[in-house]
Amino acid sequence: MKKAIIFIIFAIFLFYTAYELHPFGEIKESKMDDYIIENAQNETGANNVVTSVVFDYRGYDTLGEATVLFTAIAGALVVLRRRK
């Protein structure tokens, strides 16, 4: 019974989330987009807005993604290495 209740709650959450998604390809403007486009060069000193977002505004996120990627590769090498 407990598993059924958890499944129903999860299904409701899943369908609600799918309902709230905006259609694919439809542009939804936000204030953050305008702010980054207008202020990226002044705040970060980068000429490329994408580079300023990846390395300055979201630096910790990028560092975390690189750490996860490195850990996955190291784990795969450990598992797939040949023993002599």
- Kindly give the confidence (pLDDT) of every residue in the chain, 84 residues in length, as a single tens digit, with 9 standing for 90 and above: 889 999 999 999 999 999 988 888 777 777 888 888 888 888 888 888 888 888 888 888 888 999 999 999 999 999 998 877
In whole angstroms, what is the distance from residue 74 CA to residue 84 CA? 19
* pLDDT value at residue 46: 85
Domain residues for the domain of 36 are 2-80
SS3 27: coil
* Structure tokens belonging to residue 62: 């990028």
* Structure tokens belonging to residue 4: 């059924």
pTM over 0.85: no
* pLDDT value at residue 6: 95
* pLDDT value at residue 78: 93
CA 8 from centre of chain = 27
* pLDDT value at residue 9: 96
* pLDDT value at residue 51: 85
* pLDDT value at residue 72: 97
The total of structural domains in the chain comes to 1
